[in-house]
Amino acid sequence: MSKFLTYEDRLVIAQLLQENVSFGVIGKMLGKDRTTIAKEIKKHSYDKKSGRPGYPYNPCKHRSTCKAKKLCGNSCTHQSAYKCSLCSDCTLHCPDFAEDICSVKTKPPYVCNGCSQLPKCTLLKRIYGPADAHEMAHQSISESRTGILSNEDDIARINGIISPLVKNGQSLHQIYIEHVDEIMCSEKTLYNYVDAQLFDIRNIDLTRKVKYRPRYKQPEFKVDRGCRIGRSYTDFQKFLEAKPESAVVQMDSVIGRVGGKCLLTIHFVETSLMLAFLRDSNTSASVIQIINLLDKVLGNEDFSRLFPVILTDNGREFSNPKAIEKRDTIPCSRTNVFYCDPSAPYQKGACEVNHELIRRILPKGSSFDDLTQKDIFLMMDHINSYKRKKLNNRSPYETFSFYYGEDVLKRLGCSPVATENIILKPKLLKK
């Protein structure tokens, strides 16, 4: 059995913390000592500044009795200027501020997950989240395995052996096999030391190395496949059975040149409207950044109305569903993410079909590196203004406007294009 906790283990811990189960019971269920569970929670939990519905984050001891007004000046335009305790910035200006620290965090379970007062609390919270904990643990392990283990004297000694011979034209391999007993480290370590510029020589001095392109290096952290537990396509179907009124949004990526810029596409199935956003690389962070931007632009209410359910594939860029589903403010939950079955793109066929229109303008294999987000908005305006038979000969733009209003479309950066001006050929973006 591995001595490390898995993502599934952390999911169990988070669930049992919600139920106020003791460390001993959690340890027995996972086959770990209770102290292991305690250390895991203490080390991999995080602080969260959040309030409750109608009240911002406010850790002041006097928050319930405070009657101060306009502490930041008479020019305050905050909607809660009449009562400073309702303003998230009041603690920065108040001379009487004294932080109220909840005693729950000082004794087991050391986190607020199972606290009955959590929905009403405006203090600093301590939260244990399985995805965040798993990433922190992985980062900690990774950092412990990196760095230089030799001291300055050892490096100076090895440098005295290596550098003169390299300058004479010898390779590190040749030097290593002849002086292995003196060097007392691996050949790979020597290359790492050269990369770190610890010797008098540099990579430019290694004749063969500068001729080769660096190998592709996998990202250090991959979100555990356990993140898809409860988010399968079967779970998606069950969700729709329970909430049939939920509008479905399909999300996918369109790749240009390998290693270059790419698109994130967001397809509203009900209206066939598609959004597209240019990204520098196909990473999870870039997807989360766009979702956060849409949340900010639309506002909490409209975002939750437009994005109740997101269906996507199993690409690495969608491997952090928690960050997509949650926001930092109240209400925390903003959407529900589900995944298609592996090798089953037909399960989000509406999105795949709409990609055919994108490929008319940006053929497969073409580079997106010279494009801007303005170009992408223009392309999608033409596609979304293209009338569809399945929409009763209306365009996605017209259909979406009917359901959600013109104002929402403007905030999403969408504009209509007259029918006679629609271009679905590469010449649309020719510069």
Tens of pLDDT, residue by residue over 345-389, are 889 999 998 999 999 999 988 899 999 999 999 999 999 999 999
- 163-215 tens-digit pLDDT: 999 888 888 889 988 888 888 888 888 888 888 777 888 888 887 765 666 66
CA distances, 338 to each of 6, 9, 240, 319, 401 (Å): 21, 21, 11, 11, 26
Strands 336-339 and 273-279: unpaired
CB atoms closer than 10 angstroms to residue 388: 15
Backbone torsion region of residue 111, taken as left when φ is above 0, otherwise alpha when ψ lies between -120 and 50, otherwise beta:
beta
Examine the domain organization and report whether 40 and 13 are in the same domain.
yes
pLDDT, greater one: 208 or 5? 5
Computed over its alpha carbons, how large is the radius of gyration of the chain?
28
Examine the domain organization and report whether 386 and 406 are in the same domain.
yes
Examine the domain organization and report whether 191 and 268 are in the same domain.
no
Examine the domain organization and report whether 280 and 418 are in the same domain.
yes
pLDDT of residue 80: 55
Total structural domains within the chain: 4
pLDDT of residue 391: 92
Average pLDDT, the chain: 85
pLDDT, greater one: 32 or 77? 32
Examine the domain organization and report whether 277 and 375 are in the same domain.
yes
Q: State the burial class of residue 118 (Cβ atoms within 10 Å of its Cβ: 0-12, 13-18, 19+).
A: middle
Reduced to 3 states, what is the DSSP secondary structure of residue 52?
strand
CATH for 319? 3.30.420.10
- 276-324 tens-digit pLDDT: 999 988 888 899 999 999 999 999 999 999 999 999 998 888 888 888 9
**Residue 50 forms part of a structural domain:** yes
pLDDT of residue 73: 65
**Residue 333 forms part of a structural domain:** yes
pLDDT of residue 409: 95
Q: State the burial class of residue 333 (Cβ atoms within 10 Å of its Cβ: 0-12, 13-18, 19+).
A: exposed
Examine the domain organization and report whether 340 and 296 are in the same domain.
yes
Give the H or E element holding residue 407.
helix 406-411
pLDDT of residue 222: 45
Quickly state the pLDDT bin for 79 (edges 50, 70, 90).
low
Most confident of 97-111, 116-130, 160-174, 394-408: 394-408
| Closest among 333, 343, 358, 208 to 278, alpha carbons compared | 358
Examine the domain organization and report whether 197 and 254 are in the same domain.
no
pLDDT of residue 219: 44
The b-or-e profile of 72-83 (16+ CB within 10 A means b, else e) is beeebeeebbee
| Closest among 309, 306, 290, 311 to 400, alpha carbons compared | 306
Q: Are 265 and 355 a contacting pair, CB within 8 Å? A: yes
Quickly state the pLDDT bin for 36 (edges 50, 70, 90).
very high
**Residue 216 forms part of a structural domain:** no
Full residue range of the structural domain in which residue 125 is found: 1-59+101-146
Contacts of 92 by beta carbon, 8 Å cutoff, 6+ apart:
72
Examine the domain organization and report whether 259 and 307 are in the same domain.
yes
pLDDT, greater one: 351 or 329? 351
CB atoms closer than 10 angstroms to residue 338: 24
**Residue 296 forms part of a structural domain:** yes
pLDDT, greater one: 366 or 224? 366
**Residue 118 forms part of a structural domain:** yes
Strands 336-339 and 309-312: parallel
Reading the block at residue 69, the tokens are: 């007004």
**Residue 390 forms part of a structural domain:** yes
Q: Does residue 88 surpass a pLDDT of 90?
A: no
Examine the domain organization and report whether 183 and 197 are in the same domain.
yes
- pTM of the model as a whole: 0.52
Examine the domain organization and report whether 290 and 370 are in the same domain.
yes
Q: Give 27-31 contacts, CB < 8 A, sequence gap 24+.
A: 30/5, 31/1
**Residue 294 forms part of a structural domain:** yes
CA distances, 54 to each of 80, 304, 327, 331, 417 (Å): 11, 18, 16, 10, 41
* DSSP annotation of 335: -
pLDDT of residue 223: 45
Examine the domain organization and report whether 282 and 360 are in the same domain.
yes
Examine the domain organization and report whether 319 and 416 are in the same domain.
yes
**Residue 219 forms part of a structural domain:** no
Q: Does residue 218 surpass a pLDDT of 50?
A: no
Entry field: residues in the chain = 431
